[in-house]
Amino acid sequence: MSPHRCQICGRRKHLRKDGGIAHHHVQGAPCAGIGHPPIELDDARLVDQAAQASREYLRLSDAIRELEDRRANFIDPALIRQRNASLSASIKLDRRLRRHQGWAARYARAYERDMYLQGCTWADKPPNYLIGRFLRGIDRIPDAYLTSE
């Protein structure tokens, strides 16, 4: 099993020779994370896709609201389905982004809990760029961050 995860869908995939995630599909369509670095190296594509999905939902929502305000006789059901699908995608990506950004804090809590209860931990260490973001916001550095892999 590959240790690298796609930024968008979270699936474990092998890397291409250029360091990007290999081609794969999600619900029949090509994933937006193809060709980008894995989440362990960078999260820029996930941030960008979450913002893009949110903008798309707002655009479609405003278009439907405008039609409703004009009291249009017909609002295309495909437009409503598209808005609902973009809302679903936006929620999923936002949830994934929030969970990803909280990875370092979750790891620190799990590390402290496991070391207290068991004397060892099995949690995967977060990527270094997330550890750096996390450490800028706290005073105390857990021992787990000081050990090398």
pLDDT digits over 139-149, tens only? 444 554 444 44
Q: Which of 43, 45, 9 is nearest to 129 (CA)?
A: 43
Beta carbons of 21 and 40 less than 8 angstroms apart: no
Q: Which domain holds residue 31?
A: 1-41
Residue 79 Cα to chain centre, angstroms: 26
Of 64, 88, 60, 84, nearest in space to 75 by CA: 64
36 plus 9 within the same structural domain: yes
Res 143: pLDDT: 53
Please state the domain count of the chain: 3
- Site of tokens 């240790």: 3
- Which residue shows structure tokens 């360091």? 19
Would residue 149 count as lying in a domain?
Answer: no
Residue 94 lies in a domain: yes
Say what percent of the chain tops pLDDT 70. 87
* The length of the chain, given as a count of residues: 149
Do residues 63 and 84 both lie within one domain?
Answer: yes
CA-to-CA dists, residue 45 to 32, 67, 73, 85, angstroms: 9, 33, 40, 20
For residue 129, name the pLDDT band (cuts at 50, 70, 90): confident
Residue 73 lies in a domain: yes
110 and 135, same domain (yes or no)? yes
pLDDT tens, position by position, 41-100: 888 888 899 999 999 999 999 999 999 999 888 989 999 999 999 999 999 999 988 888
Asked whether residue 47 falls in the same domain as residue 37, the answer is no
124 within a domain of the structure (yes/no)? yes
Residue 20 belongs to some domain of the structure = yes
Residues 37 and 53 in one domain: no
Q: Are residues 47 and 97 in the same domain?
A: yes
Residue 148 resides in a domain: no
Domain contains 78: yes
64 and 90 in a single domain? The answer is yes
